[in-house]
Amino acid sequence: MSQTMLTESDTLVELTMSQAINRALVEALEGAEPIVHLGQDLGAYGGTFGVTRGLWERFGPEVIRDGPLCESATVGFGIGLAISGVRAIVEIEFFDFVGVCMDQIYNQAAKLHYLSGGRLQVPLLLRTPIAARLGGGPQHSQSLEAWFMHIPGIKIVMPSNAQDAYDLLRTALADRNPVLYIENVRLYGRRQMVDVSSPPRPFGQARTARQGEHVTVVALSALVDEALKAAATLAERGISIEVIDPCTIAPLDLDTILDSLRRTQHLVVAHDGHKTAGFGAELAALCSEHAFDYLDAPVERVAALDVPIPSGPSLNDVYPDADSIIRGVERTLGLANAL
């Protein structure tokens, strides 16, 4: 065997999702393209959740730059770098903090390519974590992806495992216009064998995490694991669940979802965001438009309650889980014991 050929042990590496993200960032920063990563506590501290640990020591403070406690300024600075030819990566410490810099994101970054008649490109990657279920309270626990589905000009990535996190981040780091890359703190420590020789994964390709016959469950981010748990429990009762992970919600691979729905004729959508006007509402509308004749029951939305996220003992009552998905499946199938 040639010494230049990679063996399986070279290409398959056990990584946590956090390590997979870190590895993809390192590979990009080692490339020829000029890149600057901005954000709070990115430097010697290594990021609030440790995802960027080691980057500051490796690439220096001119590349890994601590920003001020002002997200609008940091994102604005990132946009300026991007349109001047330097790829910018901006970490927003908690997803909840996007409200501070929304104008920079939806009025500037998402629109400059169009406003300039295509002359400007905005290679801006916004990294931000969902910190649901950690007890951070109403200002540090929200899943706000639905806000950005309403904004043309920005892509939205939501990986649920280390392999997809690695593959999709490399795709995001090659895109010439804005990408919102949403991580989930609950998933940072999940381990998986990652094929580091795999090609970057194109946006707009859903993943079928489990095949089934009776109900399609579309789940986002950490809810994919909950959906798989629900599917395993329901399988013991003879109910076969197909679990689909969209991976990106803009662009959305609607074809894969509709193909599954035409076979199962039942749909449950699960996500950590609030129920009203969430991703589930949009997907229900799309499926009603494109596959209404195949629906044997209304689309079931399994989501966080429409209340501010608490930080006390009632936290688990607000978010959906495997049991919530099971009840959604029971409702859509019209089972007698459904709640």
Specify whether 140 is catalytic: yes
Instruction: Compute how many other C-beta atoms are within 10 angstroms of the C-beta atom of residue 325.
Output: 29
**What was the pLDDT predicted at 314?**
66
Instruction: State the Cα–Cα distance between residues 82 and 168, nearest whole angstrom.
Output: 20
219 contacts: CB under 8 Å, gap ≥ 6? 160, 226, 227, 243, 244, 245, 269, 270, 271, 325
Q: Are residues 272 and 333 in contact, defined by beta-carbon separation less than 8 angstroms?
A: no
CA distance 248 to 158: 6
Within the chain, all domains assigned CATH 3.40.50.920 are found at 207-333
Find out if CATH 3.20.20.80 is the number for domain 207-333: no
Given the residues 14, 37, 71, 290, the one annotated as active site: 71
What secondary structure letter does DSSP report for 186? G
Pairwise CA distance, residues 247 & 221, whole Å: 8
Cα–Cα distance between 250 and 252 in angstroms, integer? 5
User: In the sheet that 64-66 helps form, which strands lie side by side, from edge to edge?
Assistant: 64-66, 35-39, 87-91, 124-130, 179-184, 155-157, 248-250
CATH 3.40.50.970 domain span(s) along the chain? 8-195
Residue 5's pLDDT is 38
- What does the pLDDT look like over 207-243, one tens digit per residue? 999 999 999 999 999 999 999 999 999 999 999 999 9
Instruction: List, in order, residues 6 or more apart from 216 with CB less than 8 Å away.
Output: 241, 242, 244, 257, 260, 261, 263, 264, 266, 267, 268
Please provide the CATH number assigned to the domain covering 8-195: 3.40.50.970
**pLDDT confidence of residue 178:** 98
Q: What is the pLDDT of residue 57?
A: 96
**Using CA atoms, how far apart are residues 205 and 225, in angstroms rounded to an integer?**
19
What SS3 state is found at 288? Answer: helix
Q: pLDDT digits over 239-265, tens only?
A: 999 999 999 999 999 999 999 999 999
Q: Which pLDDT score, from 0 to 100, does residue 2 have?
A: 31
Task: State the Cα–Cα distance between residues 336 and 247, nearest whole angstrom.
Answer: 34
CA distance 321 to 331: 16
User: What tokens appear for 236 in the block?
Assistant: 């013991």
User: Within the chain, where are the H helices?
Assistant: 8-11, 17-29, 55-59, 71-83, 102, 112-115, 145-149, 162-172, 223-235, 254-264, 279-291, 315-318, 322-333
Q: What is the mean pLDDT of each run of 10 residues along the chain (339 residues)?
A: 42 95 97 96 90 96 92 96 97 95 97 96 97 88 96 98 98 97 97 94 97 98 98 98 98 98 98 97 97 96 95 80 97 74
Q: What is the pLDDT of residue 8?
A: 47
Longest Cα–Cα distance in the chain? 63
Among candidate residues 30, 57, 93, 140, the one labeled active-site is 140
pTM of the predicted protein model: 0.94
Catalytic annotation present for 290: no
Within 10 A of 12 (CB to CB), how many other CB atoms are there?
15
What's the pLDDT at 3? 34
Strand order across the beta sheet in which 267-274 lies: 207-210, 241-245, 215-219, 267-274, 300-304
What lies within 8 Å, CB to CB, of 268 at 6+ separation is 215, 216, 217, 218, 299, 300, 301, 302, 325, 328, 329, 332
Q: Which pLDDT does position 43 carry in this prediction?
A: 86
